Structure 1
Amino acid sequence: MSVRLKLGFVPLVDAAALIVAQEAGFFADEGLEVELSREVSWATIRDKVAFGALDAAHMLAPMVLAQTLGVGSERAAMVAPLTLAMDASAVTVSTRLGVEADPSGRALAALVARRRELEASRLTFSVVFPFSTHNYLLRRWMAEAGVDPDRDVRLTIAPPPRMAELLAGGVIEGFCAGEPWNAVAVAAGVGTIAAHAAEIAPGAPDKVLGVTAAWAGANPATLDALVRALVRALAWAQAPENRRSLAALLSGPDYLGLSPEIVAAGLRTVAFGAPRPAPEQAAWLLAQMRRWGQVQGDDAAARVVYRPDLYARALGIA
């Protein structure tokens, strides 16, 4: 008898594990009957998991920490038994700015300085969620170039699929988001990728599998089966010989709804090959959250939320 689950995702290439596990039958092999639910925003994902409308979801790596700490939302103890992707995002700037690929951020800093001298309005950039690796990557990229992200520019929040549209419309001048939405902006001729995540903070965790601690405790065998299916899917997605097939699969109308060519462009830098949820990664995220005034205190959340022991249990690793 199969176990029925409803899993949420936001249309991004780093949702690949959920989509591959569904389409390749890896969930079914583990006795899981899964419904995938494409969600419109990260806040929707967060709330639906917390209140049980979703059993688990593709979630922002820092979101599960914030939720457990009760910052930005009602407190809900979460666990992350699996890392779904790293290096899956980029900073894209409007072609109107005339800034080329610039991992150092110096060209942006020069532009900001000129606008300050002219007393021009601040440039507006968007990130996908306050508690997101994208927020911390964009801030780090700016800060290391001498730009104060809280004073020298204006930061707003927007869902990933809207970023290219907002850039084209002149509502924002840049963004940091997951792929393939950077590739979409480039293909439309409205954006230039200034820096990839791997050029700003290599190996920074991007997305995790998120479940409530209560659900994990009540459903250990189901969680183990879910982790096993997703680990198998991650290995398939990471294999170079599968990247073309992966792009075609993700491009489907129920998933990303984009051309395989654009999806393939967005997949070039994404790493699926490190699924163990490392508390060291959580500690890095908490350090960023402290740096930018979102949380205070020690790294206890890193130990209770990022759970390599659950990953090891599912795979039978001693």
Structure 2
Amino acid sequence: MVATPNHLHATQAITALELGLAAVVDKPIALSTREAGTMLAAAERTGRPLAAFQNRRWDSDFLLLRETVAGDQLGGLFRVESRFERFRPEVNTASWREETPPGAGGGLLLDLGSHLIDQAHVLLGKPQRVYAEISLARPGAVADDDCFLALEFPGGARAHLWMSTQAPSIGPRWRVWGRRRALEVWGLDPQEGYIRAGGRPTDPGYGGPDGSQRAVLTEGGEGGAARELPLPAGRYGDFYAGMAAAIRGEGPVPVPAQAGRDVLAVIEAARASVATGRVVTPDFAGAAG
């Protein structure tokens, strides 16, 4: 498991693969699509499994969203709004993510942005157009701390993604519109907080609702009926179970490293959008090596 500062991911993962080990690499899997390409080439050369640790595919809210989409409860998706907002108005000088410039691996876009982009990719596929606003909003900031991305997908669906440390008012985690209904979710999946507080994934009730989240399904139309939906338990353990099966040769890795490289293609497009003030088409072909 490579969970070191981001600039070390590529070299450490390649070293592990060349030693004959399987490798799981925390997001972002690398600093660039070029680096990610060298990692995938090493995995192919050595024949060892390489996975991206996009654990928020197993957040309770994302599991619920995928369930409602799979059951066609919303109708065809055409707008997805996804937020990961906090209010931390001062730079944390003890955090390497906040004290490291983006080019060396710091900032919210590489950190939380990797999760939000990956989730949008799972829901809607690869975006064909990217517009971004990326800011260093706090006094003394050297890494981006307030970001917005607008993604357009084939067929016309759009995703708007926010990640910020500068949100005195926290918006819904999800606001998703289908052709018939909308789903809104407030609050964050409790798994990370539970583990940080000393809990273990093997504890009874791990990942289950703790009252911090709320999901509402609303019928389309003025005055449409709304009802709360129960949130399933989050299941980060499913990633590790899938990885163990892949190591035994019993199935694919739970999140292919290719998915991590596709995330980086979107991040590179977002940075190009900020630099040019234009909408940018991600270079997924170039990301393939």
Is the TM value for this pair above 0.5?
no
TM-score normalised by length of structure 1: 0.26
